[in-house]
Chains A and B, each alone.
Chain A
Amino acid sequence: MRLQIVRAIFLKEIRETLRDRRTLVFMIVLPLVLYPGMIIGMSKFQDSLDEQARERSCRLTIWGQPPADLIDLLKARNFAVSIEGSHPVSPDTPVFEPMPDEESQDADKKAEQIRSRVEVHPLTVAARPLVLERKTDLILALWPQTPDSGLRHAAILYDSVREDSRRGRSRLEAALETYRKGVVTGREKERGLPQGFFTAMDVKARDIAPKSRRSGFGIGIVLPFLLLAVSATAGFYRAVDTTAGEKERNTMQTLLCAPVRSLEIVAGKFGAIALITTAAAAANIVSLGLTFSVVTKSLGGGAVSLNGWQYLIVFLTLLPVTLLTSALFLAVGVFAKDFRDGQNLLTPVMMLAMMPAAITMLPGVEANVYTLMAPFVNVALLIKALLVGEAKADQVFITLISSAAYAVLALLFAARVFERESLLTGGKDTFRGLFGLDHRRREVTPSLAFASFCLVLLLIFYGQVLTKLSMEKLLLFVQYGLILAPTLLIVGALRLPLVETLSLRRPSLRSILAAFLIGLSSWTVGVAFLRLLPPPESLQKAMQQVLLLDQPNLPLAVVLFVVAVSPGICEELLFRGLIQNGFRRLGMWPAILAAALLFGLAHGSIYRLLPVTFLGVVIGYLAWRSQSVIPGMLAHAVNNASALMLVSHPALRQWTVKQQLQFLPLEWSAFGALVLAAGLWLARGAAPELEQTSPNPS
């Protein structure tokens, strides 16, 4: 790749962009206008609505005979009360059932049943036309007071969709609560009882979250989505213009007849789109910062208080995802015949990117190992966490690494697409052709290996979100359903040779012996890395769950099958089979290290990265030398089983507690290293051929 050519293409793209008003509008003007307009305008609009609503009296219809003091109270609180002479409430009218306690069993089911009964309740039927047709804002139904009871039933009938009605409901509830308290106090006095006798407990909830956290949370709900959407929109037009637009205008063919490599074209164009998207992201953040500072000043006291560092970190977090969208747009844009086609193709891509980010606006979607690996979701969640001051180093790490990985993948895809002349010159292409599988020897490529890794990560994320299983079943589902099955499907769908792709060869005896030694010892060396970056308690607890240590009732055989044997089989077929073989053409060490690094990353923790990657390197070496995935499976299973035994065996556990051991003693690691060295030495000559070609006395 010649940098001066890439630079020439890049500069030409930038020059064209700077003369393209549409991109400039989306890039700079939109954010500059959008945020002040939206945030200041919306808050002013909301304030005026609130004020209007406060001034306006609430139209309340009362069914039944209200006490005179209640009517006075309601009038004093600005309710326009109208008491209906004829109404459907009689002593025989069934009272509404209370909703079930949320903590109780089958709460959802019971609530659903109650709601369906509310639907056909005579009061619902009678109230609907009045409230929905806005003849009144809400209705207070009062059952007649029965002489032998101190309790009077009442129901508020309102329309949750109508703001007036909803607001009236909370105001009415507050008024009724005041009235109820008055009644209770009166009764206590009447009977000469101490104050609070009937109330028994007075509960007040207070929000103790600091102001910055509260405002961060508020902003964090919409901001990530907004930032992603606006910065992607800027790249969107440039990407369509530079791919489909160039094809439509026939300038692509002019470029293709110049002595320029397709990779140089991709690099130049990608650089330009990425710069534009990044500039748009920066413009967004600057505009946002200015807007917030104006809002803060006008509200007089830090409604929103993000500092410069927070803005900078938000910007840096956005960087990899802007690179990802740029590469994705570039690759997909080439498939389009013309500008309109490009917009049609890229709009769903943009929606697909924005939808996960929109999911993060839902309450309850929080940053964890798996959500932080999902593209777009991770960045949105991290920004959210940064704004409420909850982001941890581990999360930043996973997000940046996984986003960068997806960006690289998208860029590789774009480069591949640009190599397909049929696409560049306006024709169509097949999926197999695109991945170079139609002419070439069928073998797994580095891009395919990397794509498989990303696919499995995504499946693990969505698979876990969608299933509610107990831990041991979930682990089995992840291993067989989300790791093994996709691996086999990829091999099958692309008709890759099974034996070569997954190294499913019969292992030599020597390699089996090596596997045992490596499995027994490698974790003792691997855990020594934990000293460099000690894991926090939360991770230790999560590990205990994953190792099923909190389920002492499970038989040991089941635990070993779930925690040792299954990962040995499934993870090895993916990482040392498909992935390591995909990187094979890079040479032994690059292939082993790349597969090991992905193996480490897949375990989703910065603290576990080094130990797991180390295990990946050792097993990768064994798999490479033995030319079979089977010894690796054995080593992996033995490794997991022996580590599990150490932490789960009661006697050993007691001993570690007694010794106050935080880490495995270094002597153990040193001894383990010796055993490991022996295992690796055995592995070195463990290829099946070597065994066969050994000197034969006959």
Chain B
Amino acid sequence: MAVALPSTIYVHEGSANHHRPPPGHGPKNLHAPATGARPSHPRYADGPGLILQMDLRDSPFLRCWGLKKSFGAVRAVDGVSFEIYPGEIVGLLGPNGAGKTTALRMLAGILTPDEGSVEACGFDMKLNPLEAKRRIGFLSGDTQLYQRLTPREILLYFGELFEVEASQRQRRAAELIDMLNMGSFADRPCETLSAGQKQRANIARAFFHDPEVLILDEPTTALDILSGRFIVDAIRQQSSRGKAVLFSTHIMGEAEYLCDRIIMIHQGRIAETGSQAEILARLGTTNLTDAFLKAIGES
């Protein structure tokens, strides 16, 4: 992976566990203190406390184990566990109704799992939801924006909700508007924007508080090639800044192009996981589409 990873992260005294638990056996002390494992980022560089140096790859930014969720008699997610490390882009592939969206919503803290836990940068989603959510940026293909507000107003609003410092909000909004090429429509009500423009504004919203983890649920759905490409590039850029990215998609080309690792999910369970090369070798196929079909038993 051509990503320049920072070699260290700064961990404050009394931080959460840094070992990887075996799937299904999460750490018992999930209630991480307010200063949990944090990546090397200018925001945290001058924080108080004892600073330890450690290998970044030891500590996942996003971790879930034994996730289960049912809706009535339907079990949407049935024991899903995985971890995502800083700078890693992980693709979640699965047919419609496989449980991708439910899993991603649980990871983002919108749904509470029936069983299992989610941890973002050492903060347990159940015990410390505000801290965990603060480290996650969530975006889905069908998430809409407030129609009567402008993208800039929405960014500032979410900045407030994520408690980004007041002095930083305007600057950060301008920065993202510039970065995502939103200058021409940043001050127009969202109801007047095209699908691509809206999705760009939505990405800016998810990036605004500079989260360590990005969870993107089919972010390029319903977008044209140009807009889709723009978003894919934005994801790459975030990963190169050391962010952990989890995204679900239907588009195999996107997964092939972007992902360091792929998790194939079928009927609420993980059917296959590994790097693209590992999966192709294991399933004896030459491309991801065939591998996917084989993994879910359709070929």
Contact = CB atoms under 8 A, between A and B. Distances in A.
Interface string B50-90: 00000000000000000000010000000000000000000
User: Mostly helix, strand, loop or mixed at chain A's interface?
Assistant: helix
Most buried by A among B140, B148, B189, B205: B148
Contact of A8 (B105, B145, B157, B205): B157
Given A258-B158, A421-B111, A19 B148 contact: yes
A38 B147 CA distance: 35
A15 B149 contact: yes
Contacts of B112: 421
Contact of B133 (A5, A8, A257): A257
B131 interface: yes
Contact of A259 (B130, B142, B157): B130
A9 B105 CA distance: 22
B105 A254 contact: no
A129 to B, nearest CB: 61
B130 A261 contact: yes
B148 A258 contact: no
A47 interface: no
Most buried by B among A8, A253, A427: A253
B144 interface: yes
B163 interface: yes
B247 interface: no
A421 B129 CA distance: 14
Nearest to A13: B146
Contacts of B145: 251, 254
B233 interface: no
A19 B162 CA distance: 25
Contact of B148 (A4, A16, A257, A260): A16
B105 A253 contact: yes
A259 B161 contact: yes
B130 A12 contact: no
Contacts, number: 73
A427 B110 CA distance: 13
B110 A249 contact: no
B144 A249 contact: yes
A257 B160 contact: no
B153 A257 contact: no
B133 A425 contact: no
Contacts of A251: 143-146
B134 A259 contact: yes
A16 B162 CA distance: 20
A550 interface: no
A16 B140 contact: no
Interface string A412-453: 000000000100010100000000000000000000000000
A8 B160 contact: yes
Contacts of A425: 105, 110-111
Nearest to A249: B144
Nearest to B109: A257
A48 interface: no
Contacts of B134: 259
B162 A258 contact: yes
B136 interface: yes
A250 interface: yes
Given A8-B157, A259-B129, A260-B161, A427 B143 contact: no
Interface residues of A, number: 24
A256 B158 CA distance: 11
Interface in B155-173: 157-158, 160-163
B138 interface: yes
A72 interface: no
Given A15-B149, A425-B105, A253 B163 contact: no
A84 interface: no
Interface string A154-180: 000000000000000000000000000
A19 B148 CA distance: 6
Contacts of B111: 421, 425
Given A12-B157, A421-B111, A425-B111, A250 B146 contact: no
A341 B189 CA distance: 26
A307 B174 CA distance: 54
A106 interface: no
Contacts of A12: 146, 149, 157
Nearest to B136: A257
B68 to A, nearest CB: 15
A490 to B, nearest CB: 28
Contacts of B149: 12, 15-16, 19
Contact of B71 (A9, A19, A427): A427
A254 B136 CA distance: 12
Contacts of A20: 148
B108 interface: yes
B160 A5 contact: yes
A238 to B, nearest CB: 12
Contacts of A9: 161
A251 B154 CA distance: 11
Interface in A1-53: 4-5, 8-9, 12, 15-16, 19-20
11 contacts: A5-B160, A16-B149, A249-B144, A253-B140, A254-B158, A257-B138, A258-B161, A259-B129, A259-B162, A260-B130, A421-B112
Given A254-B205, A258-B133, 10 more contacts: A12-B146, A12-B157, A254-B138, A254-B158, A255-B161, A258-B162, A259-B134, A259-B163, A260-B161, A421-B112
Nearest 5 interchain pairs by C-beta: A8-B160, A259-B130, A19-B148, A259-B133, A257-B138
